[in-house]
Structure 1
């Protein structure tokens, strides 16, 4: 069985900061990984590396390099404006996502949880758009969007450094990433415009930083997953799919 993972996020850099180790791990195992990005992050800070009007293209190039480091197979931009995802055409966004889900047919989709990890409005919006698309993708509607597809597993990446230990221990998937920590670091470094975020991270407690490069955390949506689960392998039991 060919393994497919679909990542749906809001900005270039979300993938590297949030789950770079997990991406690198599964890419090394032969999983085909497709990344969908809602915006090009053009409303962020240029960090003196380019003109503000050039930032979208600059960040697209940063993501291209980071994707190569992590082993991402394909990057798809939805082309919405940074910081305006919640007020973008919702039905249009959902249609685009349904088409992608039906085409890729991933065993696993990963996106932000309802809190958006950092609370960013674009992060929270892409969570809800993704859930809507997963629900629609399995229905016998709009055949020109592709054949209906029932998603085996939906997971939300959780920001470990923001959560208490008892909450972390209760999450569904804890992925060990130490062997891929260097790739995660290299991918983050490719996002040079995110200097401020990198500096904030360096100021954190050493224990938090060690955990950040050792484990990544995920919550499984048991309602929208045909084959929900828990454990140390986000692809565990996928052999049941289609059986």
Structure 2
């Protein structure tokens, strides 16, 4: 099958789903990646003395390493404003996503869930754009589109990215998780290698503890489908 991941920033594919991507590629699937920004607005640029455009080029070069590391079938990196997707007419992004889907004709599309996994507005905008495009294209006859999946984190009940009296971010309730992909040792190692491709983000990798948080499972929600117990593969039981 063809699987298309759509995320707003460089490293979104590695901070979590990389282990599942490795497993999918190893299983013979085509895995493609569309990233909407070059991620140049990251605060890391200040430490490196780079402007947004310069940082974007650095991160793009790091993504080229990720493409090779994960053996992606294709990767496209757009240059819409990092941290500024909410300021755009969403139809601009919808047009880009539609164009990419029409070119690849994926069976499964993967993006962030409604909460964005972090609450970051770029993530939330991407969710809304991809979900709308997926449904519109299916209504217009894109029958190759079989499944829409959201890479997610299960809600632990603990505070997540919120403090100082603000309500905590609520992640995905266990009952809404439809796919739990168990990672083999080689999948976990592939995730680590993908993260290592981001030379400028190693401090962030350690600070977030993403490898430990993901552990040996990658979780997905499925739009308009409900599986209990969860599937172990986002391509399993896809309806024709």
Query: d(CA) in 1 for partners of 2:192 and 2:174?
Result: 22
SS at match of 1:76: strand
- C-alpha displacement at 1:48, in angstroms? 4.2
Query: d(CA) in 2 for partners of 1:150 and 1:67?
Result: 24
- C-alpha displacement at 1:150, in angstroms? 5.4
Residue 178 (structure 1) aligned with residue 189 (structure 2): no
- Counterpart of 2:118? 118
- Counterpart of 2:208? 201
- Counterpart of 1:219? 221
Give the length in aligned residue pairs. Answer: 222
C-alpha change, 1:168 and 1:188, in structure 2 (3 Å) is farther
- Counterpart of 1:94? 94
CA RMSD between the two structures? 2.4
Q: TM-score, normalised by structure 2?
A: 0.84
Query: d(CA) in 2 for partners of 1:177 and 1:164?
Result: 24
Greater CA drift, 50-59 or 193-202: 193-202
SS at match of 1:119: coil
Query: d(CA) in 2 for partners of 1:135 and 1:94?
Result: 12
- Counterpart of 2:173? 167
Q: Is the 8 A contact 1:40 1:79 kept in 2?
A: yes
Query: d(CA) in 1 for partners of 2:90 and 2:144?
Result: 21
Query: d(CA) in 1 for partners of 2:157 and 2:179?
Result: 16
Q: Which has the higher helix share?
A: 1
Q: Is the 8 A contact 1:174 1:217 kept in 2?
A: yes
Unaligned runs of 5+ in 1: 141-146
Residue 134 (structure 1) aligned with residue 141 (structure 2): no
- Provide, for residues 81-103 of structure 1, a one-character-per-residue CA deviation record: whole Å limited to 9, x for no partner: 10011111311211121122222
- Counterpart of 1:58? 58
- C-alpha displacement at 1:188, in angstroms? 0.7
- C-alpha displacement at 1:49, in angstroms? 4.7
- C-alpha displacement at 1:17, in angstroms? 0.4
C-alpha change, 1:170 and 1:149, in structure 2 (3 Å) is closer
- Counterpart of 2:198? 191
C-alpha change, 1:35 and 1:50, in structure 2 (3 Å) is farther
Unaligned runs of 5+ in 2: 159-171
- Counterpart of 2:29? 31
Q: Is the 8 A contact 1:6 1:109 kept in 2?
A: yes
Runs of 4 or more above 4 Å deviation: 47-50
